[in-house]
Amino acid sequence: AQTVTQSQPEMSVQEAETVTLSCTYDTSESDYYLFWYKQPPSRQMILVIRQEAYKQQNATENRFSVNFQKAAKSFSLKISDSQLGDAAMYFCAYRGIQGAQKLVFGQGTRLTINP
């Protein structure tokens, strides 16, 4: 079974600085998708960025980028120019390509932005 591990329960960063959230996963599949979701206090899970495993190029969405290391099974999220609105729980998630669109989530990292 696939597992996702986020080893940083909490992180903090100064506004306008850069922060990196870590994620590792375990799978025997060669093709899969990886995601970072943000969950603010409003509870709604919001997609931040996604990466297809077959793509070597790291995904980027504005201030958000990933460092995808397939051999190491590592998928970290870098947030540049941190803003107060980035404060939230961040979840790393894995989805295989077989069967249902089941997302396997990590335990989450709580990100605090200090003004």
Partner 1 sequence: ETGVTQSPTHLIKTRGQQVTLRCSSQSGHNTVSWYQQALGQGPQFIFQYYREEENGRGNFPPRFSGLQFPNYSSELNVNALELDDSALYLCASSPSGGITDTQYFGPGTRLTVL
Residues that bind partner 1 (CB under 8 A): 4, 33, 35, 37, 42-47, 50, 91, 93, 97, 99-108
What are the residues whose beta carbons fall under 8 Å from the beta carbon of 17, sequence distance 6 or more?
Answer: 81, 82
In the bound state with partner 1, the residue whose beta carbon lies nearer, of 100 and 115, is 100
Residue with tokens 């870098």, as numbered in its chain? 78
Beta carbon of residue 65, minimum distance to partner 1 (angstroms, whole number): 18
In the bound state with partner 1, the residue whose beta carbon lies nearer, of 47 and 84, is 47
Beta carbon of residue 14, minimum distance to partner 1 (angstroms, whole number): 26
Largest CA distance in the chain: 44
Helix, strand and coil content of the chain, in percent to the nearest 5, comes to 5, 50, 45
What is the three-class DSSP state of 54?
coil
In the bound state with partner 1, the residue whose beta carbon lies nearer, of 98 and 115, is 98
In the bound state with partner 1, the residue whose beta carbon lies nearer, of 11 and 45, is 45
Beta carbon of residue 16, minimum distance to partner 1 (angstroms, whole number): 29
Q: Provide the token pair at 108.
A: 């989450």
